[in-house]
Amino acid sequence: MILGVGPRSENYLSPDERRVFRARPKWVAMVKPIVIATGLLIPLKALMLLVDLAGPGVWLITTLLWYAQVAVLFWLIYEMLWWWYDILMVTDKRLMRVTGVFDTHLDEMPIDKITDRSVHQSWVGHWLGYSHTRIESAGQRQSLEYLNYVADPWAFYEAVTKVVVGKKELPPPRHGRKKFGGWPDRPSSDEQSEEWPEQ
C-alpha cells in the first residue's frame, strides 16, 4: 500500500468466506488516461517554450502554464492509483468490487442474486486477455452490472459460474489454462483459490 492509501480488499472478507478470484482491471484501462495526459502535456510544454521566447515580461503566463502541466501530471497519477486499487473479487458468498484512493468504496452483490452473465471479448481483448462483462441480478439495476476491462475473463466467468451453481468441487475445465495472445498459461479459478488462500 502506497503512503497508507487505498483499500485492502482482504479486510472486507468474513472469516468463513472463501475467495475464489481476485484481480484488478487490465492495464489497457490506463491507455486512455495516458493518451489524454500526453495530448495535454505536449501542447502545454510547447506553448510554454514559445512564451519564454517573448522575454521575462510574460512570467505570469509561463507560471500558469507550468502549474497546468503539474495539474495534468497529478491527475494522471491519481488515475493510476485508482486503477491500482480497483479490486474485483469473487467469493463463495458474493461478488464485490473495492475501489478508492483516499476514500474507500465497496460495491457487492450476493451470489444467489446473480441470474445471468455475459462476456463480450473483442479480438483485441482476446489478444490482450480482457473483456467487458455484464452481470444481471434479480430486482433492480446494480452498480456491478457492467464490469469493464476484466482481466483473465474466463477465469472470472468460471469462478462466478462455479459459485452460482454450487459446484465448487468440480475439477478445473480445460479453458482455465487457455492462452491469451501468446501470454503464459492463465491459472484456473481453483488455482487462484490456492494463490489467494482462505482468510
Give the Cα separation of 136 and 123 in Å (integer).
24
Does residue 103 fall inside a structural domain? yes
Range of the domain at 107: 16-23+89-195
Does residue 36 fall inside a structural domain? yes
- The residue behind cell 495535454 is 40
Which pLDDT value is given to residue 2? Answer: 45
**pLDDT tens column, 23-71:** 999 999 999 999 999 999 999 999 988 888 777 777 888 889 999 999 9
Same domain, 39 and 136: no
Give the Cα separation of 18 and 139 in Å (integer).
26
Backbone angles phi, psi at 52, to 5 degrees: -60, -30
Which pLDDT value is given to residue 84? Answer: 92
Same domain, 143 and 118: yes
**Residue 25 falls in which region: left (phi positive, over 0), alpha (psi -120 to 50) or beta:** beta
**pLDDT tens column, 170-185:** 444 433 333 333 334 4
